[in-house]
Structure 1
Amino acid sequence: MAEPEDQDYCGMGGRMARWNLNLCIGVVFSSVFPLVSLAVLVKFLLHQVTYGYLLVFAETRKPDLGGVFWVQALTQLLYCMVFYAVVMAGVLLQRSDGYIPAALALLSGFVAVASVVQFKMRFRWQSLPYPEVVKMDKDHPIPASTVRKEVSMYIQPSLNDPSLPH
């Protein structure tokens, strides 16, 4: 009999976080050392083969929280872009003769921070906007056969007596 899954490592969200970290490492350091992108590509191709089997056939079913993990991964990737801008500013500061290339790279970090803020504030992904819900209700009305008909309610007779004070 096999051991149970390690929820800290293979649990919900742990695998997505590790994949996102690998992607961030590949994105940040591929500019400094281009062979990193090849190593990351091979790693993700191996993930495709192994986890393509594991997720479908070998692992226990888990509740679907893909949307939450996907948004978290995108947010972490945007933070990675901020880190990338800082690393590139440092590399350019060390390798160039002046400060202008490093300053431009650092300015792109502010653009990345603004994109993180915009992503968190602008996109409503947890619930639909009300006009979309109304449109869906109009497009797909509930059939009359499934609508519960109003049943008569019991009202205490003394409450209907008009002679009693209210």
Structure 2
Amino acid sequence: MGVGKSTVGALLAQRLGCRYRDTDDDIVAEQGRTIADIFLDEGEAVFRAAEKEAVRRALAQHEGVLALGGGSVLDADTRALLAGRPVVYLSMDVEEAVQRTGLNAARPLLAVNPRRQWRELMDARRPLYQQVASVVVATDGRTPEEVTRAVLDALESKTASSGGQPPDPRQEDTWRTR
């Protein structure tokens, strides 16, 4: 949340000369309401089911840069669909999250004690992000343009080191760039 996936994703697609798509936007368009409203009206389980379907559909239909919601990796089927694809995990620490988002209540999973909840979410999700990631790029203190350049560099390096093949996220060594 607040890591810059939408901004960096759009910049990355522009630099690569391909299309950009965000599964959160897909869900909002399909449901006709905000993600926060889905959480409030129907609960997290209903949202996660919609998210799982949106990711499945996008992976099948879209060629280009695809941004996934932060909780997408909680689903084992989604993680399996990501296997063998170049996946970038944009990371940041809690202090950066506070600066970028203020950890405000507009984010449904952070409604009560946002700083503690953010840390708990990240503690639970970080191993899953790392499991599916081909590369990990820290966003702390960087502009979206700097993050985009770091992503391109990391993916290029990873592709070169794998003999021109797309990076395999199941490899134990995860590229990290600062």
TM-score range, shorter chain: under 0.3
Higher helix share: 1
Whichever of the two has the greater Rg, that structure is 1
Which structure has more relative contact order (CA 8 Å, sep 6+)? It is 2
- The structure with the largest strand share of the pair is 2
